[in-house]
Amino acid sequence: MGMIENLEAMLASGQDNALLRFSLGSALLKNGDVEQAVGHLAEAVRQDPDYSAAWKGYGKALQSLGETEAAMRAYESGIAAAGRKGDKQAAKEMQVFLRRLQKAADGQ
């Protein structure tokens, strides 16, 4: 059984928390199953609004789907979450991703 299957089995057994949802969403995103990844990452940030890594993954997944506005909102929320947690590196990364999206949106 692969990692995705293991994580899905954990979820099916009744375990449900932000870390599990983040791990599953990240694995699905890496595997190219972006639509499913978005759902799990959205649930991760719903369960833990201060989970900056989940916000970053959520933004990337939304961006992969071409959901630019939603991705920008996710990055903005992630930057705020990272600021509350003192996670300066995550905040810097998401600021770069956000600027790139804003620049691309302005150029259209």
Q: Chain-wide mean pLDDT for the chain?
A: 96
Residue 35's CB: how many other CB atoms inside 10 A? 10
> How far apart (Å, rounded) are the C-alpha atoms in residues 8 and 78?
25
- Chain CA centroid to CA 64, Å: 11
For the cut 70, the answer to whether the pLDDT of residue 108 exceeds it is no
* pLDDT tens for each residue of 52-65: 999 999 999 999 99
For the cut 80, the answer to whether the pLDDT of residue 107 exceeds it is no
Could you tell me the CATH number of the domain that includes residue 27? 1.25.40.10
- The predicted pLDDT at position 83 comes to 96
For the cut 80, the answer to whether the pLDDT of residue 90 exceeds it is yes
- Containing domain of residue 99, as a range? 3-106
Q: Domain total for the chain?
A: 1
Nearest to residue 49, comparing CAs of 82, 20, 23, 26? Answer: 82
